[in-house]
Amino acid sequence: NAGVTQTPKFRILKIGQSMTLQCTQDMNHNYMYWYRQDPGMGLKLIYYSVGAGITDKGEVPNGYNVSRSTTEDFPLRLELAAPSQTSVYFCASSPTAGGAFFGQGTRLTVV
């Protein structure tokens, strides 16, 4: 019973590098989300998707891109990494109505 799976769990990037955070869910949920959590803070919504082919910006989308080609997968792309993107990133999925289930998070450090 995998739920929401994020990879990698940890990553160190150099300034200006790019990377993709992977997220996959096996619950056939329509909605998927990407959040970032800075130390001691709440979760800020980066992007979300209501189904394959449909994505929209959240509260803090700058510096990120997403795609949703399948129901299961919702990768988050960081282009030209900056120190301000050092954070813990959470992917989540939810049914049309109801609570969201979260992945274990990816701890990203940009140096």
Partner 1 sequence: AQKITQTQPGMFVQEKEAVTLDCTYDTSDPSYGLFWYKQPSSGEMIFLIYQGSYDQQNATEGRYSLNFQKARKSANLVISASQLGDSAMYFCAMREGRYGNKLVFGAGTILRVKS
User: What sign does the dihedral 69-102-26-20 (CA atoms) show?
Assistant: positive
Render 83-95 in DSSP notation, one character per residue.
GGG-EEEEEEEE-
Which of 34, 35, 64, 74: binder of partner 1 (CB under 8 A)?
35
Contact between 10 and partner 1 by CB under 8 A: the answer reads: no
> Between residues 85 and 94, which has the closer beta carbon with respect to partner 1?
94
With vertex at residue 68, the alpha carbon angle to CA 63 and CA 71, rounded to the nearest 5 degrees, is 145
Residues 45, 51: Cα–Cα separation, whole Å: 17
- Which residues, including other chains, have CB under 8 Å from residue 95's CB and lie 6 or more apart? 27, 29, 30, 31
Which of 66, 87, 94, 110: binder of partner 1 (CB under 8 A)?
94
Contact between 56 and partner 1 by CB under 8 A: the answer reads: yes
Which of 8, 12, 18, 41: binder of partner 1 (CB under 8 A)?
41
Contact between 2 and partner 1 by CB under 8 A: the answer reads: no
Contact between 96 and partner 1 by CB under 8 A: the answer reads: yes
Contact between 39 and partner 1 by CB under 8 A: the answer reads: no
